[in-house]
Chains A and B, each alone.
Chain A
Amino acid sequence: MNWIKTQFQKELWSPYVAGVLLGIVGVLAVWLSDSLLGASGAFENLAGLVGKAIAPKLFDNLYFNFIMPPGITWGVILLVGVFFGGTVGALTSRTAKIRTMDDAQWKRIFGPQVWKRWLLLFVGAIILQYGAGIAGGCTSGLAISGGMLLAPAAFLFMAGMFASGILVALIVYRRRY
């Protein structure tokens, strides 16, 4: 019992152990709900819901009517769970705090201004979501969930993701790479 408690209080687990947990979750998702884990799809469902309420004309297109119909889907509920699970993880290791994304590594490279971090994060997130929309999923929805079904799409996506990620990191970090 004590051993379990210490494990829960650890801030970081071995990625292999955490990976096994995610693998089991992936299997259970298919087994119990016949669904795949995904985050970007749920985001688009929500975006569609908001968009149709604010600007119905703009959102009345093929993508939001048929490919990603808006609504509170299984994936949206999953996202709510992800939020709580992450909170539980941070609370058990006593690392939960409200912060302004003042990552030490970021500051060393780009300087101490937080607004720069926020701006780049915002731009990066838009690019990321756009890419996920084109590919048909994100890291969890396509790379992991598709990969576990051995979908070729997942492996193409992973190849693209790492190729450009490495390149951009190389450009951003230049000599400090």
Chain B
Amino acid sequence: MANNIIALFLGAAFGFSLNKAGLTRYNKIVNVFRFTDLSVLKFMMTALVVAMSGLYALRGLGLITFPRIPETYIVGNLVGGLIFGVGMALAGY
């Protein structure tokens, strides 16, 4: 139960950050592929850098263990990414 409440709050913060970054808009998503508005990239990379340093610092301190890391299948990840990109550029979400 506590876990579900955490999920709800984290999800809310997630949705809030997406909304405030403007990633709920068609033009923001598509324009990153046209190099006219790099918000998506800035948003993703900032999140990555913050989370990466936070997680590795916490693991270094012995406070957390990592969950199951997404498996690597080179062809699967790459082909999936290629298909995903087509959908993302068409749908714009």
Could you list which residues of chain A lie within 8 angstroms of chain B, going by C-beta atoms? 10-13, 15-37, 74-75, 77-90, 93, 101, 103-106, 120-121, 123-154, 156-169, 172-173, 177
- Cβ–Cβ contact A78 & B89, under 8 A: no
Is B67 touching A150 in the complex (CB atoms < 8 A)?
Answer: no
Could you tell me the distance in whole angstroms from the C-beta of B38 to the nearest C-beta in chain A? 8
Give the nearest-CB partner of A105 in chain B: B27
Task: Find out whether the CB atom of A81 lies under 8 angstroms from the CB atom of B87.
Answer: no
Given A124-B92, A136-B80, A148 contacting B51 (CB threshold 8 A): yes
- The secondary structure that dominates the B interface is helix
A26-B47, A81-B9 known; A163 vs B14 contact (CB < 8 Å): no
Do A19 and B46 touch (CB < 8 A)?
Answer: yes
The distance in angstroms between the C-alpha atoms of A26 and B11, with both chains bound, is: 10
A40 and B18 CA atoms in complex are apart in Å by 16
Which of A16, A17, A131, A145 contacts B82, CB < 8 Å?
A: A131
Contact A169 B30 (CB under 8 A): yes
| Contact residues of B between 21 and 61, Cβ < 8 Å to A | 21-22, 24-27, 30-34, 39-40, 42-52, 54-55, 58
Report yes or no: B21 in contact with A127, Cβ–Cβ below 8 A: no
CA distance A80 to B5 in the complex (A): 11
Q: Given A135-B77, A135-B84, A166-B33, 7 more contacts at CB 8 Å?
A: A25-B14, A81-B15, A85-B15, A87-B15, A132-B80, A152-B77, A165-B85
Residues of B within 8 A of A (CB): 3-4, 6-22, 24-27, 30-34, 39-40, 42-52, 54-55, 58, 63-67, 69-74, 76-93
Contacts of A29 in B (CB 8 A): 10
- Does the CB pair B87–A157 fall under 8 Å? no
Closest A-B pairs by Cβ, 5 of them: A81-B11, A160-B81, A135-B80, A23-B50, A19-B46
Given contacts A28-B10, A31-B64, A89-B20, contact A103 B27 (CB under 8 A): yes
Query: Does A24 lie within 8 Å of B81, measured CB to CB?
Result: no
Point out the residues of chain B lying under 8 angstroms from A142, CB to CB. Answer: 70, 77
30 contacts across the A-B interface (CB closer than 8 A): A12-B22, A19-B44, A19-B50, A24-B50, A26-B47, A35-B67, A80-B11, A81-B7, A85-B15, A86-B24, A87-B15, A89-B20, A103-B25, A103-B26, A104-B27, A105-B30, A127-B84, A127-B87, A131-B79, A131-B87, A134-B80, A139-B44, A148-B55, A159-B81, A160-B80, A164-B82, A164-B85, A164-B86, A168-B86, A177-B34
